[in-house]
Structure 1
């Protein structure tokens, strides 16, 4: 019988030798079809008796602990003479290596990367996406060392990253591990475009086939990228890379120091509503390059990759980013005023139909984000740092505009955060309040207590009137019956039962399965249409399975308006309201004298 040859072999045949002055990574992707790679890492000489080797337990932009180290096998460590060194697994993302004497150390391991949706690593026959947090180990002892990354890839592949290119093809350089972990690599068969905006270089890299128009993407990303000056003075980068995965079964995005990765279903670009989802995501991640990457709250500075990073200001990091994303697109002319209003109206309606906003503050939601699980309980008992953080940002913006007679807006708060609290500094609640006081001359501590430290309740009619707007449903809207539940797709099993809604008060609970209304069978999505057959206030008998037991429950229907919430012009908007509108959004009043949007006329 022939001896079994270990999968992990030295990669020296593929790569140039490294120097001891840096940490060197060599990644062999030449046989990638089974999601596997071979990784070799050289660390400089260490005098420690116990050298820690770590893989993060989370990635930046993800407020959740992940089992990232499960993708590592055939882990081995050698000294500079090639002798194997003993090690112990001391934590989920940690190996402790015993050193009898000072020596340089080489680590080898097999990497399995098939977590595309988590955006920590994905390798197949067409590409590899490598986020260092899920793929490349580091040692805290050498975290500040310069880094070299070399890839061995199939001949047809090309490699891209926000990092500087190295001397060899498919190689990159980083000043330290913090830069490496925030500069993912996309290598493979992809579409590539380069463009510039406001004196900065940009690249668009798209992996995967789909119904996207890459030239339209470049046009709109160019317009978006030129709008940074509307908020900040200066850039934290010279070159920026938009990475896009057009694929199946996953969606989402992650911000990085000098790049972003955006994942969308491959056929979700042609229709305008779908394309807006893409370009808004791109705007969100671009804004993060300042808000989170260039400045971020204390508690997230510096990153501790081996445990949760807690902050009560995640609503600013995420919610304020969401708040600005459509504003930059509106200023750039990428979206229309109508599309902006539709987005804001949808957010207001969503908040009004989320009982959790009455229970949890955005401060508490920020601190608890690492433990949040989503679902029915979150809707009923939690605030969301993105959606409620957006509305807290809106309220703060309007308050600041009023307190400064339109001289300053919430954009100036972020301009000051970028100027005064760049990384490695972090900002605190008192820092934000001081900026607000410097801009307005007012003490915002009571505002903070009401809107941030306490569950937030906003009067949107009064708030939007400042800008000459009002929420409404249009002339064709009418009162319709309402049950206060959400179904799980095509199933009649309930995925949400809104707290204090009609179904909740009747005793209907999460997981119940509707089978009939007033003795007549309900199928598929027929539940909602059947409910509309009744008038608000009517009582119906709902037959359902609850924990596999058939029950009949009398449900008194509530009332809601039909159609979607809209933002309309107030009657006879004043000159002050139009001025407020322009100071807020940076565009002229978009309605004609009859209250219709000029673009629709």
Structure 2
């Protein structure tokens, strides 16, 4: 009986033509005593729920033995290459194009390379649990590598399995790097693209965020963590990973209070995911199937809870005052209520349909859908306030999250089902939360004021009595032409037949000027039900459409202290917004 050879999977990335946005990848497969191996590239990346077809960027796929003899291969599906190694060690070489500026896709140029592993590395079919190493052949003009993977040799990093590899991006270049000590845990900060940030201030503020979030969850699972920020002229966003995050910001955002607080909120959001989704997670979100959609109706918990807490944490860290915090919370309500789609799509359905809707917005998306980020946030505040009020301040949502993390991740090491998450939440809080959990799948709205009133606050619509006239359209000035970019469902424009991409030429026989002032005049001085004649060009054809003026149904939600609140309610409100 022959002893089975040890199998190894090794990658090497080099950069011959970064200015043309290419990386070269060499994959060495040793010890596989099989006739053939199927190499698969993921079609999506965890945390960004869209099939992106990363294999479309693979070029020049070539296979050979370790002594450079040719090996036959064939492509058998959109993301699968079969190599006929016949028990021999195999070397696979391919080029990878990357030129998409996002936190979830490869970007390579002569200044730096951002490597998103799901769009870069093949896994061997059936061996997702196999360990691998990645060696970066660092060119002389770059000096630094930032990644959450441990470095086992000079510029060589190890992943215990492909789930870890696909959750560990690489930033390669000349980024500004420094280390922040947070309760004895090193947190590397890597700034790419310059910026007007203050290192000392940023260090102190991130330490506060890490401390507050660790307090909420009870423990920190990290030995080390990496923040990578890509600074652009204009950008905002982030993607969470197991022990790192990739952020996008504007390089001049750090000296203005509003934009800096927004950046800190982004930091708080992505770091909160260290627990909420990367460890505490719904059952379908791991282990992953990297070849197709992984459906769950619970992203309203994973992203919605996180969207509620990110602003709350910046308030608790004293970056925002109460007025500022309440404005940011009210904005979540406005973002939901001012999308006509909120009457059609529930938070649960929004979560489930993220694969076809969230990352593929079109001109009608506002009429058909909502975001589980915003809707989840307002459901989260309802849960928090209900728990605080009915437990007389003894419990709050913090306690539920900590208990769920300890139960499902630390103790049972598994994903949860929705029913058991609700059951645990009710057990920990001692409060019946069924009304809110039912609302997750309902199109109607909860009486959110009931929850705010219970802690001495109120939610009001500043436009409730407003009689502003509206057509229900959104326009943009395109090279002096006024173009319709959105038409609200059931608005007068919707019913009359105005379309997205129509060019508005004139109103009531008067040509529009490039600023569209005639339209504003009609809306300001017209009367309810008045018919206006709108001259449009649609696909080069001129026509007139009669549209009646109607009142706007837009809302402007504000959250403020309830002056008629009872003393006990005010006490609970202080507990809610306790720093």
Same topology, TM > 0.5: yes
User: In structure 2, what is the equivalent of residue 499 of structure 1?
Assistant: 489
Q: Partners in 2 of 1:141 and 1:379 — Cα distance?
A: 41
Q: Partners in 1 of 2:216 and 2:281 — Cα distance?
A: 16
Please say which of residues 329-338 and 524-533 is displaced more in the overlay: 524-533
Matches within 5 A, 1:455-466: 455-466=443-454
2:56 aligned counterpart, secondary structure: helix
Q: Say yes or no: does 1:104 pair with 2:96.
A: no
Q: Partners in 2 of 1:462 and 1:237 — Cα distance?
A: 39
Pick from 553, 575, 578 the counterpart of residue 583 of structure 1. 575
User: In structure 2, what is the equivalent of residue 513 of structure 1?
Assistant: 503
1:231 aligned counterpart, secondary structure: helix
Shift of 1:262: 0.9
**8 A Cα contact 1:245 1:264, kept in partner:** yes
Q: Say yes or no: does 1:436 pair with 2:425.
A: yes
**8 A Cα contact 1:375 1:496, kept in partner:** no
Shift of 1:376: 3.6
User: In structure 1, what is the equivalent of residue 389 of structure 2?
Assistant: 402
Specify every segment of 5 or more residues in structure 1 that has no aligned partner in the other structure, as ranges. 1-18, 588-601
Q: Partners in 2 of 1:348 and 1:337 — Cα distance?
A: 17
Distance 1:200 1:74, change over 3 A: same
**8 A Cα contact 1:193 1:218, kept in partner:** no
Matches within 5 A, 1:132-531: 132-155=117-140, 156-168=142-154, 170-248=155-233, 251-372=236-357, 373-422=360-409, 425-442=414-431, 444-449=433-438, 451-472=439-460, 479-488=467-476, 492-526=482-516, 529-531=520-522
Q: Partners in 2 of 1:428 and 1:434 — Cα distance?
A: 10
**8 A Cα contact 1:29 1:151, kept in partner:** no
Post-superposition CA distance 1:411-466 (Å, at most 9, x none): 222212211222851111122122123124455445422x1121240334333222
Q: Partners in 1 of 2:113 and 2:458 — Cα distance?
A: 49
**8 A Cα contact 2:453 2:562, kept in partner:** yes
Post-superposition CA distance 1:214-267 (Å, at most 9, x none): 443333222211111342011121211110001246542111111111112333
**8 A Cα contact 1:36 1:123, kept in partner:** yes
User: In structure 1, what is the equivalent of residue 31 of structure 2?
Assistant: 45
Post-superposition CA distance 1:180-238 (Å, at most 9, x none): 11111111011112112233211110110234444433332222111113420111212
Distance 1:249 1:104, change over 3 A: farther
Specify every segment of 5 or more residues in structure 2 that has no aligned partner in the other structure, as ranges. none
Q: Partners in 2 of 1:356 and 1:150 — Cα distance?
A: 48
Q: Partners in 2 of 1:478 and 1:379 — Cα distance?
A: 22
Q: Partners in 1 of 2:76 and 2:230 — Cα distance?
A: 35
Shift of 1:574: 3.0
Shift of 1:95: 0.8
2:242 aligned counterpart, secondary structure: coil
Please say which of residues 575-584 and 308-317 is displaced more in the overlay: 575-584
Distance 1:257 1:346, change over 3 A: same
1:280 aligned counterpart, secondary structure: helix
Shift of 1:396: 2.1
Q: Say yes or no: does 1:557 pair with 2:550.
A: yes
Structure 1 length-normalised TM: 0.87
Distance 1:543 1:64, change over 3 A: same
Q: Partners in 2 of 1:55 and 1:315 — Cα distance?
A: 28
Shift of 1:535: 5.5
1:103 aligned counterpart, secondary structure: coil
Q: Partners in 2 of 1:64 and 1:479 — Cα distance?
A: 41
Please say which of residues 290-299 and 276-285 is displaced more in the overlay: 276-285
Post-superposition CA distance 1:128-178 (Å, at most 9, x none): 11111111222134432332221112334211111112221x332222211
Post-superposition CA distance 1:545-594 (Å, at most 9, x none): 344332131322314689x543222114433222322333333xxxxxxx
1:368 aligned counterpart, secondary structure: helix
Post-superposition CA distance 1:369-403 (Å, at most 9, x none): 10113234321122321111111222222232333
User: In structure 2, what is the equivalent of residue 595 of structure 1?
Assistant: none
Q: Say yes or no: does 1:65 pair with 2:51.
A: yes
Please say which of residues 568-577 and 290-299 is displaced more in the overlay: 568-577
Q: Partners in 1 of 2:157 and 2:319 — Cα distance?
A: 34
1:470 aligned counterpart, secondary structure: strand
Please say which of residues 298-307 and 27-36 is displaced more in the overlay: 27-36
Q: Partners in 2 of 1:193 and 1:415 — Cα distance?
A: 31
Please say which of residues 217-226 and 119-128 is displaced more in the overlay: 217-226
Q: Partners in 1 of 2:134 and 2:119 — Cα distance?
A: 15
Distance 1:470 1:370, change over 3 A: same
Shift of 1:278: 1.8
Shift of 1:114: 1.4
Please say which of residues 403-412 and 517-526 is displaced more in the overlay: 517-526
Q: Partners in 1 of 2:368 and 2:198 — Cα distance?
A: 41
**8 A Cα contact 1:43 1:142, kept in partner:** no
2:559 aligned counterpart, secondary structure: strand
